[in-house]
Amino acid sequence: MERTISLTRGSIRINLVKFAMPLFLGNLFQQLYNAADSLIVGNFLGSEALAAVSSSSPLIFMMIGFFNGLAIGAGVVISRAYGAGDDGDLEKAVHTDIAFGLISGLVLTVFASLFTPSILALMKTPEDIMPNSIAYFRVYSLGILFSLMYNFLMGIMNAVGDSKHPLYYLIISSITNVVLDLLFVGVLGLGVGSAAFATIISQAISSLLCFIRLMRIRENYRIRIRSIRIDGPTLRRIIRFGLPSGIQNSVIGFANTIVQTNINTFSSFAVAGSGAYSRIEGFAFLPITSFSLALTTFTGQNLGAREYERAKRGALFGILCSIVMAEVIGLLFFIFAPHLIALFNGRAEVVAYGTRQARIESLFYLFLALSHAISGVLRGSGKAAIPMIIMFSVWCFLRVAYITIALSISHNIELIYSAYPVTWTISSILFIIYMKKADWLHGLEKR
């Protein structure tokens, strides 16, 4: 297949790395343009504007995370059909995926536009940043359709082994976003809402390029406009594989929104510092996200082709790579945290909050990587309910309970920061126990 990698043949290590590296670079550029919003806003508009952008991030993830999880489910169905050489199932899955993505994006856009102020108020957003928070999120919500469609379209390409083209389009999108951020915020001084508008434009470009690419190819996963419709049985399979991932993303997003609500009770400096930290933490997610997505596709293709031993060996290699790379980044973050936080805003209070959070969390990135990598393997094997159960129990219920109890004893922001490494470690232990005891290799044998 043209410019795709079949993960069912050849060297496991070489093919998995070749497939994961474009994902890594793509995530790098995506993180760069996410960070660009905060960097430019923080330096041109000040700490309050940075806090406004930061306070919206967990909410954005919570709202789109569910549908992105369903896109992962679609990728599992597509990778399985592709690995098995089933052209009929592949065509139905691709076009059902597109139709469902379009409907989901429109529904979410309307919902987010209507309820932005109410949701931000429930999050106890500080009064001094509320106007900017509403402006940023309301503008951003108008482009949610493009964000969702990029993830659905990228998922199709990744599922068939094409991780290069999404990278090319993301590079173009990232450069566009940075240029427009500098123009709107730095040159024209249009305010925090214009940063969200720059993001909308860049996401529209990347999703459009993906769509054009999938319409022009001659392969069996080509998009045909007239064929875009929902096939009931195919949609049920997508939901069966994707619903656990969607719920998982949503509950993690909900838990992070609760965490953000508690951070909001301190000060706008705390919100800005935490926002700067989260942008830098995103770089630690690069190997985690890359290998998690690669492992989902690798496992799905190999189990579709009934290459069970190959799937097992690839899973072990991908998990180890993710852990090592994430921990190296975490160590560098621990050492250089004050300088990195200061890039977003030089206020001493902002730097202090961000550095404290980094020093508490960054050395535990190996557990974050382990949990996500095993989740990727389990999603590819059709056992997405297991990550959902573990992460709901630990990353949502336990994390929120821990913070609620801890803050009732002492109103100390470091107790909020510590909730992350504690829950990452517990979830990793549970995942290891499951992988050792369960038969996860045969999750896709029955349709």
pLDDT tens digits, residue range 278-319? 888 887 777 788 888 888 888 877 777 777 888 888 888 889
As a whole number, mean pLDDT of residues 362-382 equals: 89
pLDDT at 341 over 70: yes
Instruction: Report yes or no on whether pTM surpasses 0.75.
Output: no
pLDDT at 4 over 70: no
State the SS3 of the chain: CCCCCCCCCCCHHHHHHHHHHHHHHHHHHHHHHHHHHHHHHHHHHCHHHHHHHHHHHHHHHHHHHHHHHHHHHHHHHHHHHHHHCCHHHHHHHHHHHHHHHHHHHHHHHHHHHHHHHHHHHHCCCCCCCHHHHHHHHHHHHCCHHHHHHHHHHHHHHHHCCCCHHHHHHHHHHHHHHHHHHHHHHHHCCCCHHHHHHHHHHHHHHHHHHHHHHHHHCCCCCCCCHHHCCCCHHHHHHHHHHHHHHHHHHHHHHHHHHHHHHHHHCCCHHHHHHHHHHHHHHHHHHHHHHHHHHHHHHHHHHHHHCCCHHHHHHHHHHHHHHHHHHHHHHHHHHHHHHHHHHHCCCCCHHHHHHHHHHHHHHHHHHHHHHHHHHHHHHHHHCCCCHHHHHHHHHHHHHHHHHHHHHHHHHCCCHHHHHHHHHHHHHHHHHHHHHHHHHCCHHHCCCCC
As a whole number, mean pLDDT of residues 414-429 equals: 93
pLDDT at 272 over 80: yes
Please tell me the predicted confidence (pLDDT) of residue 432.
92
| Least confident residue range of 274-278, 283-287, 320-324, 361-365 | 283-287
As a whole number, mean pLDDT of residues 196-220 equals: 88
Average model confidence (pLDDT) for the chain? 83
Q: Which of 110-119, 252-261, 351-360, 384-393 has the highest mean pLDDT?
A: 351-360
As a whole number, mean pLDDT of residues 250-272 equals: 81
pLDDT at 228 over 60: yes
pLDDT at 6 over 70: no
pLDDT at 269 over 80: yes
| Least confident residue range of 87-101, 208-222, 241-255, 366-380 | 241-255
As a whole number, mean pLDDT of residues 212-224 equals: 86
| pLDDT category of residue 383 using cuts at 50, 70 and 90 | confident
As a whole number, mean pLDDT of residues 218-240 equals: 86
Please tell me the predicted confidence (pLDDT) of residue 446.
40
| pLDDT category of residue 420 using cuts at 50, 70 and 90 | very high
As a whole number, mean pLDDT of residues 33-51 equals: 74
Give tens-digit pLDDT for 161-180.
Answer: 787 888 888 888 888 988 99
| pLDDT category of residue 5 using cuts at 50, 70 and 90 | low
Higher pLDDT pick, 211 / 163: 211
Please tell me the predicted confidence (pLDDT) of residue 441.
62
